[in-house]
């Protein structure tokens, strides 16, 4: 009478053991990988005295690219105060609070750092993170100097610098956002999202780092350019429009041009990663 019961019990135990073994084998054993950033601040093209005042930017949606060209999703580790899974803040200036020049990501599948041949990420924040409630936002989304309003959201990049006695401010973020008031979030995507896809090939995080080329921006600024503030309507000012274009974006539509493949602001530095 008990024989069918025993057979069923044995089958159940076998299936359970098989599922546990499969789960153990499929468990992500990938090691966290650290990516470093730096800023090239000087330019022989513009001999005026250059002073970097603020330089911060948000990023999210990170992928590592292996030598076979496969895109491997890489989750940002929850590591406050500089990063959460939904975004990271890089701060490359030396003003005020502590700086941060790195992110740490967890690849979705195991990959050796030596097998990494590229990286892709999005400059900025996704719609829901960008328009979250500022009163309940946690670090790194509670930095007042990186915030516009609940309607517009965050400044994806803030670059403030001086050339002698002239001051320049470049603040990139979504524009054309519609809501009942500046103190209310939009329910639909902004007209000009200004999210740049940054893809760098021939990049290995163990021997190289990502460098932002401020000298390229300085080349866009004629010697007689007065104080310039780029905080929206970027197409109306040639300096502002030029910098947006360096990020691979259209200054008019806020969309990537040719998938942002022509961006020239982020580059691979073949020197060892600054730590």
Averaged confidence pLDDT in the chain: 88
H helix intervals, the chain: 3-26, 127-130, 214-218, 238-246
Q: Does the structure show a pLDDT above 50 at 235?
A: yes
Counting Cα atoms < 13 Å in the Cβ hemisphere of 13 gives: 6
DSSP 91-108: E-S-SSSPPB-EEEEEES
Closest alpha carbon to 151 in 173, 170, 171, 136: 173
pTM assigned to the model? 0.87
Do 237 and 244 contact (CB within 8 A), yes or no?
Answer: no
What would the two tokens of residue 203 be?
């990049």
Do 215 and 180 contact (CB within 8 A), yes or no?
Answer: no
What is the structure's pLDDT at 220? 87
Do 92 and 38 contact (CB within 8 A), yes or no?
Answer: yes
Closest alpha carbon to 163 in 45, 44, 51: 51
pLDDT digits (tens, 9 = 90+) for 62-73: 999 999 999 999
- As a whole number, mean pLDDT of residues 240-268 equals 96
- As a whole number, mean pLDDT of residues 197-220 equals 93
| 166-172/157-163 β-pairing | antiparallel
Q: Give just the sign of the alpha carbon dihedral 158, 127, 86, 122.
A: negative
What is the structure's pLDDT at 1? 47
Counting Cα atoms < 13 Å in the Cβ hemisphere of 273 gives: 17
pLDDT digits (tens, 9 = 90+) for 96-155: 768 999 999 999 999 988 899 999 999 999 999 999 998 999 999 999 999 999 999 999
Q: Does the structure show a pLDDT above 50 at 229?
A: yes
Do 37 and 90 contact (CB within 8 A), yes or no?
Answer: yes
Name residues whose C-beta falls within 8 Å of residue 29's C-beta, 6 or more positions apart in sequence: 110
| 87-91/50-66 β-pairing | antiparallel
What is the structure's pLDDT at 6? 53
Going by pLDDT thresholds of 50, 70 and 90, the confidence category of residue 30 is: confident
What would the two tokens of residue 183 be?
């103190």
| Residue-range domain boundaries for the chain | 29-269
pLDDT digits (tens, 9 = 90+) for 72-92: 999 999 999 999 999 999 999
Rounded CA-CA distance 240/217 in Å is 10
pLDDT digits (tens, 9 = 90+) for 4-23: 555 565 555 554 555 554 44
């Amino acid at each position: 009478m008990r024989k069918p019961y025993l057979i069923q019990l044995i089958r159940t135990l076998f299936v359970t053991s098989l599922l546990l073994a499969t789960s153990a084998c499929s468990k992500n054993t990938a090691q966290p990988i650290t990516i470093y950033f730096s800023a090239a601040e000087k330019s022989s093209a513009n001999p005026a005295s250059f002073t970097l005042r603020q330089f911060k930017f948000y990023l999210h949606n990170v992928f590592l690219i292996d030598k076979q060209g496969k895109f491997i999703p890489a989750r940002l580790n929850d590591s406050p105060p500089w990063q959460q899974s939904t975004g990271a803040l890089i701060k490359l200036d030396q003003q005020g609070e502590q700086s941060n020049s790195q992110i740490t990501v967890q690849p979705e599948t195991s990959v050796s750092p030596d097998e990494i041949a590229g990286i892709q990420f999005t400059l900025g924040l996704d719609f829901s993170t960008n328009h979250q409630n500022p009163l309940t936002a946690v670090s790194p989304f509670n930095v007042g100097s990186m915030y516009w309003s609940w309607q517009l959201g965050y400044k994806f990049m803030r670059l403030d610098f001086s050339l002698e006695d002239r001051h320049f401010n470049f603040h990139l973020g979504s524009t054309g956002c519609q809501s009942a008031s500046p103190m209310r979030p939009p329910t639909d995507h902004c007209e000009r999202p200004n999210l740049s896809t940054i893809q760098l090939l021939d990049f290995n995080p163990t021997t190289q780092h990502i460098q932002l080329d401020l000298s390229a921006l300085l080349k866009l600024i004629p010697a007689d350019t007065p104080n310039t503030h780029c905080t929206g309507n970027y197409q109306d000012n040639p300096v502002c429009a030029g910098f947006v274009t360096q990020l691979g974006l259209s200054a008019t539509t806020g969309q990537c041009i040719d998938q942002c493949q022509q961006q020239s602001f982020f580059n691979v530095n073949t020197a060892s990663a600054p730590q």
